[in-house]
Structure 1
Amino acid sequence: MSRNLTGFTPSGRLHIGNLVGAMRPIAAAQRADDPDATVAFISDLHALTLDHDPALVRERTLEFATLLIAAGIDPERSLLFVQSHVAEHTELHYLLECATGFGEVRRMIQFKEKSGRQEQQVRLSLLTYPVLMAADILLYGTTEVPVGADQRQHVELARAVAERFNARYGPTFAVPRAVLPPVAPRLRDVFRPEEKMSKSAPPGSGVLHLLDEPAALRRTIARAVTDSAADVAYEPETRPGVANLLALLAACTGGDPAELAGGFTGYGELKRAVADAVVAVLEPLQQRYAELAADPGYVHGVLRDGAARASAIAAPTVRAAKQAIGLMADQPPQG
């Protein structure tokens, strides 16, 4: 059985890169005959590893779930839930910590980067969250995890922990593998094309958020970095700003960036075309989001049902892991 899983951490605002690189592929992979084969979840526990506003985490969690549904994630054809609503995630987390070395998690690149940027005390959860991510993956018998290069190391840790646990305590977990998402342009910050678009980018960045108003999207694109050359050409290495605009246009229209370049004689014309294409893609999503946001009870119901379905899959995995590692997996008899 094949199962793929993708998590979205509500630590910022979803942007068009998330739509192109993750949300659309999930929607395309859904199956009416096997709705549990495609798993999407809001990884709210991961948002707690850094300083955060509790109210904003809750707000973003609902916003992300609503946007995923608006983008075509159908609860009848996929599994959608919130991580903290399924207790098995934290339960398996501890069991996997008992099979993971301190050195393994200390070497995680993201821990080094994020802990180095923090002025306040580094939270222990920032060190251990890759093990929670391993639990997220292994709970569901996940076989494929679509990830970019920055998350590949975490999937490799999940593989290593699963293989070690299976070798030491007996066959318990499916061993997942990282897979590249379906081919899509790698979208960059339009003001700083040397950086990828980021959910956590500060205000004033060149990120095109899914819920930005059309006028705001157009203003951001109008200020996008280009270069001093006279022609429009797709040359990512030497002209990253223009290449990023062409990649944006390709992502919205389905064209090829290099071929699209030939249709423009200047940067103003290119920016107007990119803005029109981005607005055309996001307006229907925003309209659907507004409809869903007006009836939050529906989204909450989807998340409740999704959590129940997820727990039904995850609970046997936890029982098997507890028994394998040496715990009494069942409650002792009463009386």
Structure 2
Amino acid sequence: MTDFHPRVFSGVQPTGNLHLGNYLGAIKNFVALQDSHDCIYCVVDLHAITVWQDPQELKQNIYEVTAAFLAAGVDATKHVVFNQSRVSAHAELGWILNCVSRIGWLNRMTQFKEKAGKNRENASVGLYVYPNLMAADILAYRATHVPVGDDQKQHLELARDIAQKFNHDYLGENAPPFFPLPEPVITGAATRVMSLRDGSRKMSKSEPSEMSRITLTDDADEIAKKIKKAKTDPDPLPGDKEGLQGRPEASNLVGIFAALSDRDVDAVLTEYGGKQFSEFKPALADLAVEVLAPIGAEMSRLLDAPEHLEAFLADGAARADAIASPVLSKVKEMVGFST
């Protein structure tokens, strides 16, 4: 078995209005992982255009995600931060992996069915093959670990299937693999953050009510107001995790508290079990302001100097390309392309 250099890859789409779910489900974990791994963090703008984006808004959204990475604590000097479209290996390897992946595999992807909905025939081909491009993102760097939310686990399983099939097709069963089979990294108490207005729905920028989500650029007053007005039920908090079953809003707020305070849910309930939301929500609001307001302030500062963000992205792209280009060259040689 080939020993692969431990490397983390993950990305965030630049679709605007980054919110608490993006932070707790992804960016916070990116910061934690950089202490123990070599990390490559990507603004996945090729993925963003699987649905139409206004070009000027897309450019601004790329900067917003970059600013969020940096403001949250990602060190772009020790690790790699860049936007996907600057490194051609993603698109080139994506096409090769389109030819390795199988239609039956893609037909099982539940996220395409959810996003395309009843309009499936009018969805872009890019949205359909999105998981193959995600596999290329990861495998271009021969990444071994990928922090993912629950909604991306199926796509990572597909990336493993594609890697395994490529290894088998081009190297045979007994040869050392060229691509690793990347492992998921799922961490934190709130890997799936739900709406503050409806605990059964994922927090989303597309929900009409601004009160349903905390955006990373909200100021302290807005953060506190949204927490204090979040939907709850009339019962006191339970003393253990089992007591949260059937209480989606309570479960969501406790999970957010646990994630923001780097504790587990049971530890939070040990402290707040038996107490009413009238006591819990102000404590959660104070915690959210303490953690998130400085990130929002730093994002605003960075976004006021886009030339600095542009420099970070250009440097990151050059470093990413230096890793991905030799991998792509080897893949082309293995496939039989004249290079």
Q: How many residues align?
A: 324
Correspondence for 2:258: 250
Correspondence for 2:169: 168
- 8 Å Cα contact 1:31/1:78 also seen in 2: no
Within-5 A mapping of 1:137-216: 137-170=138-171, 173-186=178-191, 187-204=193-210, 206-216=212-222
Correspondence for 1:4: 8
Correspondence for 2:32: 28
- 8 Å Cα contact 2:223/2:285 also seen in 1: yes
- In the alignment, the residues of structure 1 paired with residue 135 and residue 147 of structure 2 have an alpha-carbon distance, to the nearest angstrom, of 14
Q: Deviations over 1:146-170 (max 9, x none)?
A: 2122111111111111111111112
Correspondence for 2:271: 260
Correspondence for 1:237: 245
Judged with a 3 Å threshold, the aligned counterparts in structure 2 of structure 1 residues 94 and 119 are, in CA distance, closer, same or farther, namely closer
Judged with a 3 Å threshold, the aligned counterparts in structure 2 of structure 1 residues 119 and 21 are, in CA distance, closer, same or farther, namely closer
Correspondence for 1:282: 292
Judged with a 3 Å threshold, the aligned counterparts in structure 2 of structure 1 residues 199 and 321 are, in CA distance, closer, same or farther, namely farther
How big is the alpha-carbon RMSD for the aligned residues of Structure 1 and Structure 2? 2.1
What letter corresponds to residue 297 of structure 1 in structure 2? E
Judged with a 3 Å threshold, the aligned counterparts in structure 2 of structure 1 residues 253 and 158 are, in CA distance, closer, same or farther, namely closer
| Identity %, equivalent residues | 36
Consecutive unaligned residues in structure 1, runs of 5 or more: 330-335
Cα distance, 1:60 vs. partner? 0.9
Correspondence for 1:314: 324
Judged with a 3 Å threshold, the aligned counterparts in structure 2 of structure 1 residues 56 and 173 are, in CA distance, closer, same or farther, namely farther
Range with bigger deviation, 271-280 or 239-248 = 239-248
Correspondence for 2:19: 15
SS at the partner of 1:225? coil
Cα distance, 1:141 vs. partner? 0.8
Consecutive unaligned residues in structure 2, runs of 5 or more: none
- 8 Å Cα contact 1:89/1:135 also seen in 2: yes
Cα distance, 1:117 vs. partner? 4.7
Within-5 A mapping of 1:37-56: 37-56=38-57
Judged with a 3 Å threshold, the aligned counterparts in structure 2 of structure 1 residues 290 and 266 are, in CA distance, closer, same or farther, namely same
Correspondence for 2:314: 304
- 8 Å Cα contact 1:172/1:321 also seen in 2: no
- In the alignment, the residues of structure 1 paired with residue 118 and residue 317 of structure 2 have an alpha-carbon distance, to the nearest angstrom, of 34
Correspondence for 1:85: 86
Cα distance, 1:184 vs. partner? 2.3
Q: Deviations over 1:38-71 (max 9, x none)?
A: 1110001111112332222211111000111000
Cα distance, 1:293 vs. partner? 2.0
Range with bigger deviation, 205-214 or 298-307 = 205-214
Q: Deviations over 1:4-27 (max 9, x none)?
A: 111101124222232223222221
TM-score between both structures, scaled by the size of structure 1: 0.90
- 8 Å Cα contact 1:147/1:178 also seen in 2: no
Q: Deviations over 1:177-221 (max 9, x none)?
A: 332322323432111111222344444351111111222222222
- 8 Å Cα contact 1:172/1:324 also seen in 2: no
Correspondence for 2:337: 327
- 8 Å Cα contact 2:164/2:181 also seen in 1: no
- In the alignment, the residues of structure 2 paired with residue 216 and residue 283 of structure 1 have an alpha-carbon distance, to the nearest angstrom, of 10
Within-5 A mapping of 1:44-83: 44-83=45-84
SS at the partner of 2:10? strand
What letter corresponds to residue 299 of structure 2 in structure 1? Y
SS at the partner of 1:52? coil
- 8 Å Cα contact 1:152/1:178 also seen in 2: no
What letter corresponds to residue 22 of structure 2 in structure 1? N
- In the alignment, the residues of structure 1 paired with residue 158 and residue 251 of structure 2 have an alpha-carbon distance, to the nearest angstrom, of 34
Judged with a 3 Å threshold, the aligned counterparts in structure 2 of structure 1 residues 82 and 63 are, in CA distance, closer, same or farther, namely same
Query: Higher RCO, 1 or 2 (CA under 8 Å, sep at least 6)?
Result: 2
TM-score between both structures, scaled by the size of structure 2: 0.89
Correspondence for 1:333: none
What letter corresponds to residue 25 of structure 2 in structure 1? G
Judged with a 3 Å threshold, the aligned counterparts in structure 2 of structure 1 residues 250 and 172 are, in CA distance, closer, same or farther, namely closer
Cα distance, 1:326 vs. partner? 1.3
